[in-house]
Amino acid sequence: MSNTFLYRKAFATYTILALNVLVFLVMSMQGSEKAREIYRGVAVVVPQDFGSIAWWKLLGANFFHINLAHLALNMTILCVLGAFVEFALGIKKYVLTYLVSGVVAMFMLYVYAALFDLYVPSLRVVELQITAGASACVLGVLGARAAIFLRMWANDDSRIARNHFLFVSFIILLQAALDMRALTLSFGAHVTGAFVGFILALLLKHRRLDLSAANPFSLAGAVKHR
Q: Residue 114 belongs to a domain with what CATH number?
A: 1.20.1540.10
pLDDT at 210: 81
Residues 6+ apart with CB under 8 A from 29: none
**Contact between 47 and 125 (Cβ < 8 Å):** yes
Q: Please indicate, yes or no, if residue 156 is contained in any of the structural domains.
A: yes
Q: Name the stretches of the chain with pLDDT < 70.
A: 1-8, 48-51, 182-184, 225-226
- Count structural domains, the chain: 1
Q: Please indicate, yes or no, if residue 103 is contained in any of the structural domains.
A: yes
Q: Please indicate, yes or no, if residue 139 is contained in any of the structural domains.
A: yes
**DSSP E strand boundaries for 48-200:** 129-131
Q: Please indicate, yes or no, if residue 1 is contained in any of the structural domains.
A: no
pLDDT at 1: 40
pLDDT at 190: 93
Task: Name the residue range of residue 102's domain.
Answer: 7-224
Residues 6+ apart with CB under 8 A from 65: 20, 23, 24, 71, 74, 132, 133, 134
Residues 6+ apart with CB under 8 A from 210: 222, 223, 224, 225
Q: Please indicate, yes or no, if residue 113 is contained in any of the structural domains.
A: yes
Report the sign of the C-alpha dihedral through residues 47, 50, 51, 53, in that order: positive
Total length of the chain: 226
User: pTM score, two decimals?
Assistant: 0.90
Q: Please indicate, yes or no, if residue 149 is contained in any of the structural domains.
A: yes
pLDDT at 219: 84
